[in-house]
Amino acid sequence: MLPNKAAVEGVGDAMQLAEVKGRSLWADARTRFFRNKAAVASLVMLALVAGFALFGGTIAQYENDFVDFSLIGSNAYLGVPSVDTGHYFGTDSNGRDLFARTVQGTGISLMVGVVGALVAVIVGTLYGAAAGYYGGRIDGIMMRTVDVLMSIPFMFVLILMLVIFGRSIFMLFLGIGLISWLDMARIARGQTLTIKNKEFVEVAVATGVHPIKIILRHIVPNLLGIVIVYATLLVPNMIIFESFISFLGLGVQEPATSLGALINEGSRTMQFGYHWQIAFPLFFFVVTIFAFFFVGDGLRDALDPKDR
């Protein structure tokens, strides 16, 4: 079948256009990303969730650690979600406003995820890029270290640390920071191995640029696409990780809370008919995780050169 004439001309026009106005990699990726409806919808959801975590506190009628003693013993019918009482999501089993607590929990969970991803991006990328760029024995030692660290069941070591040094949000961040960069280091190293043989790196070496500067200025920017993709996919994993520990009661401590801790509390009282106590935290948890996964997938389709 012959291609019809209009289409051929259309291609010709497009080629001329391309000559007139070059498209950068990022502009290209942006159009691809915005064509993916699920990813865009998820991005909007994420923005809403983040807005809820940031500004939800201003709508809440109660402080998150205010115990409404008038509700004790009558939680089942007075603590139900209602606009009239100001407890939009009802109250928890201690008579605290669940809306305020969900706002706080979502905020902390998001923060944990973002901090974990940031550590991964900074430490993991630099580590992996350095290992890949220097190569040889340095690479061997650095990557064997990663292998060794990866085969340790970190959840157990982290719980050991939380027990020994006390449960605090700082320890939690430290523990998450310790593991989150391992995968990223591997990915960054693998990419660096292909990048470092490109001509522009050769030129930099030939003109006598310092290795550290080559890594920072020439290699890392080229890693950025894949790093962003994996960082986005890492955020939900970190949120799940933190929720896991908080579900066991070993993570964030009262009066602070996180989605995992709220789900745990809700799961204990749901058998008495307080379904809202698990439903609202669970809803925010699932929506957040879902949205991050979809945005990550969308970014991967947009940025990963493998699928082109």
Partner 1 sequence: MLSFVFRRLAVAIPTLLILVILSFVLMYSAPGGPFNSERPLPPEVLANIEAKYGLDQPFWKQIVNYVIGVVTQFDFGPSFQYKDRSVNDVIAQGFPVTLTYGFWSFVVAVSVGVSLGVAAAIKQNTWLDYLAVGVSIGAQVLPNFVMAPILLLVFTLWLGWLPGGGWEGGQWNYLIMPVIALSTSYMASIARITRSSMLEVLNTNFIRTARAKGLPMRRVIWRHAMKPAILPVLSYLGPAFVGMITGSVIIDVFFSTGGIGQFFVNSAFNRDYSVIMGITILVGALTILFNLLVDILYAWIDPKIRY
Residue 266 contacts partner 1 per CB under 8 A? yes
Q: Given candidates 4, 6, 22, 156, which one binds partner 1 under the rule CB under 8 A?
A: 156
Q: Given candidates 250, 253, 256, 304, which one binds partner 1 under the rule CB under 8 A?
A: 250
What's the CA gap between 186 and 132, in Å, rounded?
A: 9
Q: How far is the CB of 84 from partner 1 (least distance, A)?
A: 27
What's the CA gap between 98 and 95, in Å, rounded?
A: 9
Residue 197 contacts partner 1 per CB under 8 A? no
What's the CA gap between 277 and 282, in Å, rounded?
A: 9
Task: Single out the segment in contact with partner 1 by CB under 8 A; choices: 126-134, 135-143, 163-171, 200-208.
Answer: 163-171
Task: Single out the segment in contact with partner 1 by CB under 8 A; choices: 67-75, 96-104, 147-155, 211-219.
Answer: 147-155
Residue 267 contacts partner 1 per CB under 8 A? yes
Backbone phi, psi, residue 93, to 5°? -70, -15
What's the CA gap between 124 and 253, in Å, rounded?
A: 29
The answer to whether the CB of 37 falls within 8 A of the CB of 60 is no
Residue 164 contacts partner 1 per CB under 8 A? yes
Of 237, 1, 209, whose CA–CA distance to 120 is shortest? 237
12 or 273, CB closer to partner 1? 273
Give the chain's length: 308
Number of residues that bind partner 1 (CB under 8 A): 39
- Amino acid identity, position 46: L
Residue 155 contacts partner 1 per CB under 8 A? yes
Residue 165 contacts partner 1 per CB under 8 A? yes
Per-residue binding string, partner 1, 275-304, x by CB under 8 A, is x--x---x--xx--xx--x-----------
Three-class secondary structure of residue 265 per DSSP: helix
* Tokens 């012959």, located at residue: 2
Of 212, 237, 75, 9, whose CA–CA distance to 130 is shortest? 212
Of 290, 182, 168, 275, whose CA–CA distance to 240 is shortest? 290
The answer to whether the CB of 279 falls within 8 A of the CB of 259 is no
Of 100, 101, 80, whose CA–CA distance to 90 is shortest? 80
Q: How far is the CB of 298 from partner 1 (least distance, A)?
A: 13
Residue 72 contacts partner 1 per CB under 8 A? no
Q: Given candidates 80, 142, 224, 248, which one binds partner 1 under the rule CB under 8 A?
A: 248
Q: How far is the CB of 244 from partner 1 (least distance, A)?
A: 6
Residue 18 contacts partner 1 per CB under 8 A? no
Residue 261 contacts partner 1 per CB under 8 A? no
Residues at the contact surface with partner 1, assessed by CB under 8 A? 144, 147-148, 151-153, 155-157, 159-165, 236, 240, 243-244, 247-250, 260, 263-264, 266-267, 270-271, 275, 278, 282, 285-286, 289-290, 293
